[in-house]
Amino acid sequence: MDRLSSHRATKEVVNKHNFKFSKSLGQNFLIDDNVIDRILEGARLSETDRIIEVGPGIGTLTREMGKVAENVVAIEIDKTLIPILQETLADLDNVEVVNEDILKVDVQGLINEKLNGGPVKLVANLPYYITTPIVMKFLEEDIPVTDIVVMVQKEVADRMNAKPSTKDYGALSVAVQYYCDTEIVAKAPRHMFVPQPNVDSIVIGLHVRDEKKYVVDNEDIFFKTVKASFGQRRKTLLNSLGGLGFLSKDQIKEALKAANIDEKRRGETLSIDEFANLSNEINKFSSK
Ligand code: SAM
């Protein structure tokens, strides 16, 4: 078996196994060879790479990664796909399929057991209903991931990639860009999937920085500050930061002044550097 991705090849596998697509598991399989190649390029895949894939489906992207990378561990929740994957990936002994739910599995344990402790790249066409929890799990749980190259709904990619003072800029933009440099890798309109979803997609690359770019004294306070600032988007920072729950109005004023931020500004105008400075000032009060 060479490639699986063309519409015909995918149809053949699906028909042969009488596979029933599950909408609730976000099963929209990619059938465009060009986009698959772009994903591999975006991930700068090489023969020393250890890859985690979430949701291999029938193994279309998995096969192409298995041909290049050192190892691929593909985590698939749907047990009806396991016998299909055993067949479509049979000739690749560096690929292992794990029948688990990505949100419940101990990813670090898997990496230690099957991928020599990492570092790893996460490369996947993600199930849309849990895109953000998956990406944040990899970024926040100290998993040794260097690059995340994933197909996501266009709107989510726009939010991850957004700059301050744009309509898409929000807590997700700050959370992702706090850790990563972002890059739009490829567009994937809805007709490139079967069954066709009712949204368009984008492959986004999140390249985790080796060195921290922002000086944050307390990450917990940083993320709480970001959350409160975007919590009520139309409020000024002076008002929205009240949502933190532990600062008086005077303390908020003082922190904003010390961070050189006008109290009438709204959270959506703050750069990540400004959020970092502000949270460092707020942190001084929380530790008093
Ligand atoms: N990689 C394939 C492709 O590109 O054609 C399939 C991608 S499809 C958008 C998403 C895949 O994620 C499906 O195979 C689905 O069964 C799987 N999936 C959904 N929820 C999951 C979860 N919680 N853990 C692991 N896999 C999941």
Show the 3-state SS of 265-285. CCHHHCCHHHHHHHHHHHHHH
Q: How far apart are CA 59 and CA 14, in angstroms?
A: 12
Strand partners, 204: 150, 184
101 is in an annotated binding site: yes
Q: What is the pLDDT of residue 288?
A: 59
- As for ligand 1, residues whose beta carbon falls within 6 Å of it are 25-30, 54-57, 60-61, 75-78, 81, 101-103, 125, 127, 130
Could you tell me the distance, in angstroms and rounded to a whole number, from the CA of residue 201 to the centre of ligand 1?
15
Q: 29-30 and 193-194 as β-strands: parallel, antiparallel, unpaired?
A: antiparallel
* pLDDT of the residue at 232: 83
Instruction: Choose which residue among 85, 99, 125, 131 to substitute to test ligand 1 binding: the one with the highest number of ligand atoms within 8 A of its C-beta.
Output: 125
- Whether residue 30 is annotated as binding a ligand: the answer is yes
- Scanning the structure block, which residue is given the tokens 């920072």? 237
Which ligand 1 atom minimizes the distance to the CA of 55? 12
For residue 5, how far is its CA from the centre of ligand 1 (angstroms)?
15
For residue 146, give the 3-state DSSP assignment.
strand
The token duo for 277 is 């400075």
User: 101 C-alpha to center of ligand 1: Å?
Assistant: 10
List the strands of the sheet with 145-153, edge to edge.
95-98, 71-75, 50-54, 120-125, 145-153, 201-208, 180-188
CA of residue 257 to ligand 1 center, whole Å: 47
pTM: 0.96
- Residue recorded with tokens 């598991």: 25
For residue 144, count other CB atoms closer than 10 A to its CB.
16
Tell me which of 53, 78, 129 to substitute to probe ligand 1's pocket, judged by most ligand atoms within 8 Å of the beta carbon.
Answer: 78
Q: How many Å lie between the centroid of ligand 1 and the Cα of residue 127?
A: 5
Pick from 77, 100, 102, 153 the residue to mutate for probing ligand 1's pocket: most ligand atoms within 8 Å of its CB. 77
What does the pLDDT profile of the chain (288 residues) look like in tens digits? 677 777 888 999 999 999 999 999 999 999 999 999 999 999 999 999 999 999 999 999 999 999 999 999 999 999 999 999 999 999 999 999 999 999 999 999 999 999 999 999 999 999 999 999 999 999 999 899 999 999 999 999 999 999 999 999 999 999 999 999 999 999 999 999 999 999 999 999 999 999 999 999 999 999 999 999 999 888 999 999 999 999 999 999 999 999 999 999 999 999 999 999 999 999 998 865
Spell 57-78 as b/e; 16+ CB within 10 A means b.
bbbbbbbbbbbebebbbbbbbb
> Rounded distance, CA 202 to CA 187, Å?
5
